[in-house]
A and B are shown apart, each in its own frame.
Chain A
Amino acid sequence: MEKFVPLGNEALAQGALDAGMSGIYAYPGTPSTEIMEYVQRSKEAAARGIHRQWSANEKTALEAALGMSYAGKRAMVCMKHVGLNVAADPFMNAAITGANGGLIVTVADDPSMHSSQNEQDSRYYGRYAMVPILEPADQQEAYDLPKYAFELSEKHAIPVLVRLTTRLSHSRADIVRGEALPENALAIPANLRQFVLLPAVSRRNYAHLLEKQRDFEREAEQSFLTRYEDGPDKSLGIVACGIAYNYLMENYPDGCPHPVLKIGQYPVPTRLVAQLVEACESILVLEEGAPLVEEMLRGYPFDSGKVRGRLDGTLPRAGELNPNLVAKGLGRDVPEPGYTTPDILVGRPPQLCDGCPHGDTYRALNEALEAYSKGRVFSDIGCYTLGALPPYNAINSCVDMGASITMAKGATDAGLAPAVAVIGDSTFSHSGMTGLLDVVNANAPVKVVIVDNQTTAMTGGQDSPATGQIEQIAMGLGVPEEHVRVITPLPRQHEANVAVIREELGYEGVSVIIARRECIETAKRRRKSS
């Protein structure tokens, strides 16, 4: 068999294909993007006609996956951690409807915020919704996981949350593939009210969900992702969740002398935890992300001091783990690095590409805004967020998908007018349209600059859901046609662009200025392939 050396994301994707998945739904977001991209490239997925188109956002993606589950087929939805905030409504309620066909909700967390605005830990969401959570430690587990997860989902009629973190998502390893399963046949739920969350149904379903918690915990205890590995030195017992297990074992290549509870499935298998706590003098909890298990073990206010981890400073409270941090946490001698960096070293932050259209837009916007006081440009999530850095210093906010438009509206409500919102075409279709409707209804003096590079650029150039439809969407939402302006962000258009932006800044209602030029990266790729 051909050697298979996938990223963790690709291993999960191939595992889902081999587990009879009929559809995958996603909106791109680092570090989750490659799961969908792998399926889109897969010849096998094409031959089977698996649904594999990007969705407009994580909420629509999760709802569509739930619909496929309703119809009896196996579906997976993928997103980055903050995407689950967008999809939180269907996620929480899917725990109440339950699943019919197997339903996997895969969320890739980004501890240390390599490419994100926070490092929230999705396991809290799983706990909140009271659904099983699976957390693979390596690429082989990521591949093996979907078959198990779809079965678990169908056995208990419950969506299953799969939690990945950046290092597993974006690391390759050689793995072994297994047999492929056929897809499910179409089969609507036996109970046609299962998905009708009227209060009477919800209360019944919720009671059922509460009853199932004990089963979920037993499943976690017996899971192939969970393991109790005994060791002779009981002065310390170690709980290692997900990828933290690898960092632990890196420190003990010939076997860990301490008992280890490797946790790869939740709810936390409390019987195994009790076994470890009883056997050992103290407990060290290693988990990537937030101290979720550690908090549970500490049992405030009866904290005995027996448990160590991120909360007492044994490990850093924030950021991802690595072998050296774990070694320090274990109290092992960590050799100081032989070399240090010389003083002449300087940072090299990311920046807009040479010739990027966003640079031209920011130069024009900055010049048009010279007549106004500073601090009135709200922006959003995408490559253009780099406009916050020199030489542009052009934007004053970046919070969440779509927030540029609504924050600008709030600022104008407060009297900071005009205000500008800079948002990408893909982000606009993801979460900007409803905010624009609010602005239109208030006729607030918000100038929405849609930097339309006709792609989802930051994550590598995926299709943008509203390509070719931005003007119609803006006008359809009620922006007057004469205030929907299109400019071409090119150096030779600079004066004309400044003039258009100035004109609209002088208008007291809502304006949409579409700065349209294709991303130079996707343009390059298109030229190469044609």
Chain B
Amino acid sequence: MKYDIILAGVGGQGVLSIAAIIGMAAVDAGLRMKQSEVHGMSQRGGEVQSHLRIADRRIFSDLIPAGSADMLLSMEPLEALRYLPHLSPDGVIVAEQNPLVNIPNYPALEDVLVALRAYPQATLVDGQGIARALRATRSSNMVLLGAASAFLPLPAADFEAAISKIFGRKGGAVVAQNVEAFRQGRGLTTTAQAG
């Protein structure tokens, strides 16, 4: 088993927190993992990506070969488009549908969403809307993680355990909020798959 994920977003959106949770869930399940991160200048509001690889055997490269990622998980719709060449033709896209507009030439949002919907296995998620409804605006990345989790080779309980561990020192309320955001996100894709 091997599963390669490109995580994408804009500096400050919590891309690395999602990577940390998936990575922890994988390692706790006895899998191997490698995860490359972007530090430095790009974190100042620029494009940020992380290559996350999990497998049941030794992983060599820290980078995912182009054209072979199983999933593209993006906190931002335009950023999802940026990493399409990394995705395998069978790969899935899970992306936040609400944009982060911090550049003057951001394309028309509708064009971005249309471009994303054109891919056979793309799921657009209103993570920010769901998080707002939960009064947990900072948990939109957990909604995304939940939506992505249905495709990942680990059970939901493993992710929830990792969320509890990572948010544990912030208290039970924060854990509960993030777990709920995760569950609502997961509901989106498990229903879709069942249907």
Q: Residues of A at under 8 Å CB distance from B?
A: 3, 5, 7, 30-31, 33-34, 114-115, 167-168, 170-174, 243, 245-247, 249-250, 253, 322-324, 327, 335-342, 344-353, 383, 386, 390, 458-460
**Cβ contact of B62, chosen from A171, A174, A458, cutoff 8 A:** A171
A341–B81 contact, CB under 8 A?
yes
8 Å CB interface, B81-107 against A: 81-82, 84-89, 102-107
Q: Please judge, given known A-B contacts A3-B28, A348-B79, whether A115 and B63 are in contact too, CB under 8 Å.
A: no
* Shortest Cβ distance from residue A325 to the other chain B in the assembled complex, whole angstroms: 10
**What is the 8 Å Cβ interface bit string for chain B, positions 20-33, against chain A (1 contact, 0 not)?**
00011001100011
Interface window among B36-44, B140-148, B150-158, B186-194: B36-44
Assembled-state Cα–Cα distance A351/B104 (Å) = 12
Q: Which B residues lie within 8 Å of A324 (CB)?
A: 65-67
B37–A172 contact, CB under 8 A?
yes
B45–A351 contact, CB under 8 A?
yes
Of the A-B pairs whose beta carbons lie under 8 Å apart in the complex, a sample of 16, sorted by A's number, is: A5-B27, A114-B42, A115-B42, A170-B39, A171-B51, A171-B62, A172-B34, A245-B60, A324-B67, A335-B67, A337-B66, A337-B84, A339-B89, A344-B108, A350-B42, A460-B39
* Shortest Cβ distance from residue A427 to the other chain B in the assembled complex, whole angstroms: 15
**Cβ contact of A250, chosen from B43, B65, B67, B79, cutoff 8 A:** B65
Assembled-state Cα–Cα distance A496/B32 (Å) = 58
A246–B23 contact, CB under 8 A?
no
A114–B62 contact, CB under 8 A?
no
Query: Which chain B residue has the least Cβ–Cβ distance from A340?
Result: B85
Is B115's beta carbon under 8 Å from chain A? yes
Assembled-state Cα–Cα distance A459/B40 (Å) = 6
Which of the listed residues A249, A335, A337, A352 has the most CB atoms from chain B within 10 Å of its own CB?
Answer: A337
* Shortest Cβ distance from residue A79 to the other chain B in the assembled complex, whole angstroms: 14
Q: Which A residues lie within 8 Å of B42 (CB)?
A: 114-115, 350
**Cβ contact of A167, chosen from B36, B47, B86, cutoff 8 A:** B36
A171–B36 contact, CB under 8 A?
yes
Assembled-state Cα–Cα distance A243/B63 (Å) = 11
Assembled-state Cα–Cα distance A347/B27 (Å) = 34
Q: Which A residues lie within 8 Å of B63 (CB)?
A: 167, 247, 322-323
Q: Which B residues lie within 8 Å of A383 (CB)?
A: 44
- Please name 12 further chain A to chain B contacts, defined as beta carbons within 8 Å, in addition to the given A31-B40, A341-B84, sorted by A numbering: A5-B23, A30-B39, A115-B39, A170-B39, A171-B36, A171-B37, A174-B32, A245-B60, A250-B60, A322-B65, A324-B67, A344-B111
**Cβ contact of A345, chosen from B10, B11, B81, cutoff 8 A:** B81
Q: Which B residues lie within 8 Å of A167 (CB)?
A: 36, 62-63
Q: Which B residues lie within 8 Å of A173 (CB)?
A: 32-35, 59, 62
Q: Which A residues lie within 8 Å of B23 (CB)?
A: 5, 172
* Shortest Cβ distance from residue A38 to the other chain B in the assembled complex, whole angstroms: 13
* Shortest Cβ distance from residue B94 to the other chain A in the assembled complex, whole angstroms: 15
8 Å CB interface, B142-195 against A: none
Assembled-state Cα–Cα distance A34/B104 (Å) = 33
CB-CB nearest 3 A-B residue pairs: A115-B40, A338-B89, A350-B46
Which of the listed residues B33, B34, B82, B86 has the most CB atoms from chain A within 10 Å of its own CB?
Answer: B34
Query: Which chain A residue has the least Cβ–Cβ distance from B88?
Result: A338
**Cβ contact of B61, chosen from A7, A247, A344, cutoff 8 A:** A247
* Shortest Cβ distance from residue B153 to the other chain A in the assembled complex, whole angstroms: 17
B41–A350 contact, CB under 8 A?
yes
Assembled-state Cα–Cα distance A172/B107 (Å) = 34
Query: Which chain A residue has the least Cβ–Cβ distance from B63?
Result: A322
Is B112's beta carbon under 8 Å from chain A? yes
B62–A348 contact, CB under 8 A?
no
Assembled-state Cα–Cα distance A323/B103 (Å) = 32
* Shortest Cβ distance from residue B4 to the other chain A in the assembled complex, whole angstroms: 11
A247–B60 contact, CB under 8 A?
yes
Is B78's beta carbon under 8 Å from chain A? yes
A327–B65 contact, CB under 8 A?
yes
B115–A344 contact, CB under 8 A?
yes
A250–B61 contact, CB under 8 A?
yes
Query: Which chain A residue has the least Cβ–Cβ distance from B10?
Result: A348
Which of the listed residues B23, B41, B112 has the most CB atoms from chain A within 10 Å of its own CB?
Answer: B41
Query: Which chain A residue has the least Cβ–Cβ distance from B68?
Result: A335
A33–B44 contact, CB under 8 A?
no
Q: Which A residues lie within 8 Å of B82 (CB)?
A: 341, 345
Q: Which B residues lie within 8 Å of A386 (CB)?
A: 44
Q: Which A residues lie within 8 Å of B67 (CB)?
A: 324, 335-338
Q: Which A residues lie within 8 Å of B88 (CB)?
A: 338
Query: Which chain B residue has the least Cβ–Cβ distance from A338?
Result: B89
**Cβ contact of A339, chosen from B33, B46, B84, cutoff 8 A:** B84
Q: Which A residues lie within 8 Å of B34 (CB)?
A: 171-173
Query: Which chain A residue has the least Cβ–Cβ distance from B85?
Result: A337
**Cβ contact of A348, chosen from B32, B103, B111, cutoff 8 A:** B103
Q: Which A residues lie within 8 Å of B36 (CB)?
A: 167, 170-172
Assembled-state Cα–Cα distance A246/B51 (Å) = 15
Q: Which B residues lie within 8 Å of A31 (CB)?
A: 39-40
Q: Which A residues lie within 8 Å of B78 (CB)?
A: 345-346, 348
A340–B84 contact, CB under 8 A?
yes
Q: Please judge, given known A-B contacts A345-B78, A349-B46, A353-B45, whether A249 and B85 are in contact too, CB under 8 Å.
A: no
Q: Which B residues lie within 8 Å of A172 (CB)?
A: 23, 33-37
Q: Please judge, given known A-B contacts A5-B23, A340-B85, whether A114 and B33 are in contact too, CB under 8 Å.
A: no
Q: Which B residues lie within 8 Å of A246 (CB)?
A: 60-62
Assembled-state Cα–Cα distance A245/B62 (Å) = 11
* Shortest Cβ distance from residue B8 to the other chain A in the assembled complex, whole angstroms: 11
Q: Which B residues lie within 8 Å of A114 (CB)?
A: 38, 40-42
Query: Which chain A residue has the least Cβ–Cβ distance from B69?
Result: A337
Assembled-state Cα–Cα distance A173/B31 (Å) = 11
* Shortest Cβ distance from residue B31 to the other chain A in the assembled complex, whole angstroms: 9
Q: Which A residues lie within 8 Å of B61 (CB)?
A: 246-247, 249-250, 322-323
Q: Which B residues lie within 8 Å of A7 (CB)?
A: 37
A168–B44 contact, CB under 8 A?
no
Q: Which B residues lie within 8 Å of A323 (CB)?
A: 61, 63-65
Q: Which A residues lie within 8 Å of B59 (CB)?
A: 173
